[in-house]
Amino acid sequence: MGEKIHIKNSPSNNGKKILIVESPTKSRKISSILGKDYRVLATFGHIRDLPQKHMGFSLKDVISGELKINWEIMKWKVVNLLKKEAKNSSEIIIATDPDREGEAIAWHVASILGIKDAKRAVFHEITKKAVLSALNSPRKIDMNLVSAQITRRLIDRIVGYTLSPVFFSIRKNSSAGRVQSAALHLISKRWKEVKDFVRRPYFIVFADFGKVNALLYENYEDNGINKSRVKHFHSEQEAKEICERVNELIISSFRRGKEAKYPLPPYITSSLLQDSKNILGFSSDFTMRLAQELFERGLITYHRTDSVSLSEEGEKIAKEFLSRYFQDVENAGRKWKTKVANAQEAHEAIRPTEEGIKVFEKLFYNIKSPKAIRQSNLSPYDKLLMLISFRFLASQSKNAVFDTVEVTFKSPQLPDKFFFKVKAKKLKEEGFLKIWNNEMKDEKEDEYEGEDAFSFLLSFELQNKILVSPHRNYPKISYRKEFTNPPPLYTEASLIKELERLGIGRPSTYSTIIKTLKSRGYIFEENGKLIPTEDGLFQDETLEKYFPMICSPEFTAKMEEELDTISRGEKFWRQSLAEMAKKYLEEFEKFKEKVKEHFQSLKQIELKKEEVTGRSVENTNSITNQNKQNRKSKTNQKFMIQEKRRKAYKQKIKIKKI
């Protein structure tokens, strides 16, 4: 269960100040900064939590608002050490992580040690400047954040302890939860959409000029707004007739201009997890473990954040580096606006610290772009640090600028709503692309990039009319057959992006959601795609039919919003918890009765099969037939192989140093 606790016997602190943090790695780093004046101790994560074997509170008390929670100490060795050291200390400061979980840990520590008006230090990077600044200006524990964390913990316990046993009765290793079930529903729903999708043909007409193609568009009206789109013909004959009809093109517009391409903002948790998967191939869980280590070693800022803001210190680091290597594109001080709802702007984006940029600078001599990171021989830690640093530096650079030319053509032989269009652009100023050149080209079908296409379109500037003839090579009017495509299956990266868009979960939970679904056997990953197992589909279908509220993204997102209002002090947590719990429990009672009948009917079907086949179906831990069992067995084998590989890889990187 988490990190093993090794506590060294050490002499009494003799009146020293005590600083309490979460991680032993973090404590060692901070000790090297503070020296002998402080004794830095680690809690090894949560030291007190809800009991492991029972609810820990009464549901009646939750509804009435007279809640009494039976907290249970999880790490007595740590608690005894903290109490011993606290007796002789001159001052105690609690500096757990700067988020809700960290605030709750600080409150539990203060409660156990009996500290009134506990001093709380908060820093978003482990550097000498940040640590000393935080120690010189401690604050009180933010009880709004603590209340939000406790509310989340209790509502998740209520959902988990009532809902999971329902499924555990028919399948071991089952679980269901407020966020987990919503995420599983997204994956299952997308899988069904893809599986049931019927590809249908359509035809696109275009003017072929040899070097470029101009697609046929149509103007249309949508709620009183004039719009245009590429014309899709569902009949090949209709597309063919259009091609045969056109014998003349008239240039209706010729426009030259400039187009700016903006860099992406520095990383927040969700965007880091997405790029780490897409660019480096790292899972979300693995990425978070690497980022935690980088943070604790003082190489990056805090990695659980939804803010794209940068501190003055961050802007200074970017300016100094860019002035040395990319002076012509430096734009330090560039501000970014956070788009995530309820983002905590007091936090900072993920970026390298002063020490981290020094490590990056050494590696930068051999690796000049994000493209080169994945195939390098760097350790996973260094790869992630480089990715974070490249994105951070690009965010503080100038826009890339393109020269553009766009030409539209009309044909007298076609209705006025139809027109052909083509566009080309040529890079004029590299800007941030000198640093961040990993992005896929975002060209549309009728947009080209490069000198050849750009120069070719310039040649139309002095032309007016172009004849189209079957006896000439170009231009010619042609059509091609295309097929509609289903939405793509979710990857870890795209699922995290969707969870963020829908407001499901928070930076600290994205990787845990996916990890839990995999470990429970509800999903597996194949060629980077997340696919539901038979058991995952069964649970989702059961919940969708009999308890749609719990797998609804809207329900989960609304709860997240409620927690955010508590963290801002806008609502009393006991009242919010009572309202959420009452609504959930009312729906759960209805679900329990309905699903009980459903499961009984399934068991009757299994018993009838036993009578027919003469084979026992007891203890199969499944509600499906033998073919499904075979598929499930293969899936479980995949899980076991993947887990062995993961553990071997984890052991391998454990001995590597940054």
**Nearest partner of 325 among 357, 279, 373, judged by Cα:** 357
Read off the amino acid at residue 655.
I
Token pair for 157:
């316990």
- Determine the Cα–Cα distance for residues 270 and 503; give it in Å rounded to an integer: 12
Please answer whether residues 349 and 265 qualify as being in contact, where contact means their C-beta atoms are separated by less than 8 angstroms: yes
- Determine the Cα–Cα distance for residues 284 and 290; give it in Å rounded to an integer: 10
Locus of tokens 């795609």 = 529
The size of the chain, in residues, is 658
Give the burial string for 597-608 (b: 16+ CB within 10 Å, else e). Answer: eebeeeeeebee
Q: DSSP string of 148-172?
A: HHHHHHHHHHHHHHHHHHHHHTTST
Enumerate the H helices of 310-450 as residue ranges: 312-325, 354-364, 380-395
**Nearest partner of 348 among 121, 507, 124, 129, judged by Cα:** 124
Whether the ω angle into residue 475 lies within 30 degrees of 0, i.e. cis, is yes
**Nearest partner of 404 among 262, 263, 260, 264, judged by Cα:** 260
Number of H helices, E strands in the chain: 20, 17
Per DSSP, 267 falls in state: B
Query: CB-side exposure of 560: number of CA atoms within 13 Å?
Result: 24
Please answer whether residues 47 and 73 qualify as being in contact, where contact means their C-beta atoms are separated by less than 8 angstroms: yes
Please answer whether residues 448 and 280 qualify as being in contact, where contact means their C-beta atoms are separated by less than 8 angstroms: no
Give the β-pairing of 447-449 and 418-429.
parallel
Cα dihedral: 321, 325, 330, 333 (round 10): 0
Please answer whether residues 158 and 165 qualify as being in contact, where contact means their C-beta atoms are separated by less than 8 angstroms: no
Please answer whether residues 396 and 332 qualify as being in contact, where contact means their C-beta atoms are separated by less than 8 angstroms: yes
Give the β-pairing of 17-21 and 91-94.
parallel
Instruction: Given the residues 302, 448, 510, 584, select the one marked as catalytic.
Output: 302
Please answer whether residues 153 and 69 qualify as being in contact, where contact means their C-beta atoms are separated by less than 8 angstroms: no
- Determine the Cα–Cα distance for residues 3 and 468; give it in Å rounded to an integer: 73
Number of CB atoms found within 10 A of residue 98's CB: 24
- Determine the Cα–Cα distance for residues 340 and 506; give it in Å rounded to an integer: 10
Please answer whether residues 230 and 219 qualify as being in contact, where contact means their C-beta atoms are separated by less than 8 angstroms: no
Token pair for 244:
């045969």
- Determine the Cα–Cα distance for residues 186 and 523; give it in Å rounded to an integer: 12
**Nearest partner of 301 among 290, 315, 314, judged by Cα:** 314
Number of CB atoms found within 10 A of residue 375's CB: 8
Is 649 annotated in the active site?
no
**Nearest partner of 658 among 373, 391, 383, judged by Cα:** 383
Give the β-pairing of 17-21 and 465-467.
unpaired
Which positions are annotated as active-site residues? Answer: 302
